[in-house]
Amino acid sequence: MRHAYEYALLRVVPRIERGEAINAGVLVYCRALDFLGARVYLDPTRLAMLDADADAAAVARALDAVAAGCADRGTSAARHAGPAGDEDRGRRFRRLTAPRSTVVQAGPVHTGITADPAAALTHLLDTLVRSR
């Protein structure tokens, strides 16, 4: 059986004033299957093309923090997310995709249909983030 899901790209905007971004991750939420997941991949070469002075290690930590916000309650990753790790998955997805002016930002929310949201997450990462 296939279910609707929502997803948003995680974008790195190293210089907010310029507005240039690279895709560096994906968030996927499927309410019907109570699934929330994130996968991140930072290409330091692409980051350096936008901002040669960008701190790739700091950006990677920020991406990892967003991914930790998707982790299941009780896991070590969720504990690193703080109190947000105790929210239900839908609320966490909405919080993580809320607009913000930071180096790591979520793009607009899109929808899809899948029987396996984890596989959809991997597919989206491969096609929208890792592709050139």
Is the CB of residue 97 less than 8 Å from the CB of residue 106?
yes
pLDDT tens for 27-55 read 999 999 999 999 999 999 999 999 999 99
Domain of 31 in residue numbering reads as 3-129
Angle, alpha carbons 92-95-100 (nearest 5°) = 150
pLDDT tens for 109-118 read 999 999 999 9
The total number of structural domains in the chain stands at 1
**pTM, 2 dp:** 0.88
